[in-house]
């Protein structure tokens, strides 16, 4: 049993504890509390640090890490997407050394930034083995894309076979994700949902209400997405626009539930957020990516005021400057100073852990959970430690216990 003493403990499940103690045995948290002035029990003195649960990056694409600084910021999402499609077609092989080196560096960066759990989106499953050999816990989502598709059930059966062949562990699991309403046919959405509902602990993910072009396509059947899809040969001439927004579209299809991570939500209205809340769907926000891709800034304050569960992702290095969840949190804080710091810290920890199905082990400092804990250096005499933590932490301040 090891006992630690720290200026601050941030249990997330409870108020911050000043002058805290924490005991760990065989990798699990045993107990924690505040040190009384006359408590002389010896322990490892961590000093002026805040001890937190490892963070959760609920949405990233590790296999796109080789595109760091390669994609120009855009004023229109479809213009940004055209750059990605072009770059990915230049390197179709997931074993390309640039791609695999990018994944290795990205995993190291996640760990260095204090991340314990990731929700990773992949079209190749290339990161799976690397995640399994890393200290990260993860859900590896195999992302399904197909707007023009004849036999969705066959495609999903094949995907499930591939996932079943992966050496999944308690710490790294595999599931399915749908790409987005503009790139997945309705029958394919239904096949994905059916498959995920048969998995015992699986989460599912979709990019949802990210850009105005997506809303335009679903409401009118036309616009820049249709043009792009036609250009790349993916347009489905039999598809008819539902005439409603993306959230209502997926809800009426039965796709929104409490296993789903709905990513972005930049274009969500109050009614959309109410739908998500009713279904227990977790909204994952990635504001720095939204700024880069031309999607615009997400209505962060509205997200929190709606009562919907909010988790945080960095998105990929193709649209984000780094994989530092603390930096993403600081962006949320700058965009919505009215949102309590404690809520932002919960989004960066327990909300992501819950959405990914890892909340039994991660997301809070509580007896029984995995002791995957960070010590973040804080200035001596810090009084509002939560405010300090949501204002930006850089990797040099972080070490793992
Ligand atoms: Zn994404």
pLDDT at 258: 95
pLDDT at 21: 98
Q: Which residues contact 131 (CB under 8 A, 6 or more apart)?
A: 62, 107, 118, 120, 138, 140, 172
pLDDT at 149: 86
Lookup: tokens for 234: 């993916």
Model confidence at 200: pLDDT above 90? no
Measure the CA–CA gap between 81 and 211, rounded to whole angstroms: 11
Model confidence at 213: pLDDT above 90? yes
Confidence class for position 48, pLDDT limits 50, 70, 90: very high
Confidence class for position 167, pLDDT limits 50, 70, 90: confident
Rounded distance from Cα 328 to ligand 1 centre (Å): 15
Lookup: tokens for 10: 């941030």
- Please give the average per-residue pLDDT across 350-360, as a whole number: 98
- Please give the average per-residue pLDDT across 199-226, as a whole number: 94
What is the percent of the chain where pLDDT is above 70?
100
CA 240 and chain centroid, separation: 31
Task: Look at residue 311 and give its three-state secondary structure.
Answer: strand
Confidence class for position 202, pLDDT limits 50, 70, 90: confident
Compute CA distances 119 → 148, 221, 383, whole Å: 27, 31, 33
Q: Which residue has the higher pLDDT, 200 or 332?
A: 332
- Please give the average per-residue pLDDT across 240-250, as a whole number: 97
Rounded distance from Cα 48 to ligand 1 centre (Å): 36
Measure the CA–CA gap between 103 and 398, rounded to whole angstroms: 21
pTM listed for this prediction: 0.97
Confidence class for position 172, pLDDT limits 50, 70, 90: very high
Q: Which residues contact 158 (CB under 8 A, 6 or more apart)?
A: none
Q: What is the mean pLDDT of the chain?
A: 96
- Please give the average per-residue pLDDT across 136-165, as a whole number: 94
Rounded distance from Cα 292 to ligand 1 centre (Å): 13
Rounded distance from Cα 54 to ligand 1 centre (Å): 22
Rounded distance from Cα 179 to ligand 1 centre (Å): 8
- Please give the average per-residue pLDDT across 273-283, as a whole number: 98
Lookup: tokens for 160: 């499930």
Rounded distance from Cα 71 to ligand 1 centre (Å): 15
């Amino acid at each position: 049993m090891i006992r630690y003493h720290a200026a601050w403990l941030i249990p997330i499940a409870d108020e911050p504890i000043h002058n805290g103690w924490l005991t760990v045995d065989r990798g699990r948290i045993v107990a924690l509390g505040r040190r009384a002035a006359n408590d002389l029990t010896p322990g490892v003195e961590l000093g002026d640090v805040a001890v937190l649960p490892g963070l959760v990056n609920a949405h990233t694409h590790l296999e796109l890490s080789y595109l760091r600084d390669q994609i120009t910021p855009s004023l229109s999402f479809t213009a940004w997407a055209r750059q990605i499609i072009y770059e990915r077609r230049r390197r179709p092989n997931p074993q390309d050394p640039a791609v695999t080196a990018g994944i290795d560096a990205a995993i190291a960066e996640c760990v260095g930034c204090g991340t314990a759990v990731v929700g990773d989106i992949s079209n190749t499953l290339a990161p799976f083995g690397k995640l399994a050999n890393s200290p990260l816990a993860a859900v590896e989502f195999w992302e399904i894309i197909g707007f023009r598709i004849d036999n969705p059930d066959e495609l999903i059966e094949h995907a499930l076979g591939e996932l079943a062949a992966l050496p999944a562990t308690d710490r790294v699991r595999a599931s399915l994700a749908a790409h987005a309403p503009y790139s997945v046919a309705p029958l394919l959405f239904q096949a994905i949902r059916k498959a995920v509902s048969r998995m015992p602990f699986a989460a599912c993910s979709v990019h949802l209400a990210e850009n105005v072009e997506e809303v335009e396509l679903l409401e009118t059947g036309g616009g820049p997405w249709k043009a792009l899809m036609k250009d790349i040969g993916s347009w489905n001439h039999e598809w008819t626009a539902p005439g409603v927004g993306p959230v209502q579209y997926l809800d009426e299809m039965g796709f929104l539930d409490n296993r789903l991570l709905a990513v972005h939500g930049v274009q969500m209205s109050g009614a959309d957020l109410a739908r998500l809340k009713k279904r227990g769907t977790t909204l994952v926000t990635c504001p720095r990516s939204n700024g880069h891709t031309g999607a615009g800034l997400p209505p962060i304050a509205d997200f929190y005021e709606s009562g919907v569960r909010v988790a945080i992702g960095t998105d990929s290095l193709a649209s984000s400057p780094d994989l530092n969840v603390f930096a993403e949190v600081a962006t949320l804080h700058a965009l919505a100073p009215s949102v309590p710091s404690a809520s932002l810290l919960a989004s960066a920890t327990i909300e992501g852990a819950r959405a990914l199905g890892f909340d039994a082990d991660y997301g809070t400092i509580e007896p029984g959970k995995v002791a995957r804990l960070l010590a973040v250096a804080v200035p001596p005499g810090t009084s509002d430690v939560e405010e300090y933590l949501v204002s930006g932490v850089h990797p040099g301040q972080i070490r793992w216990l």
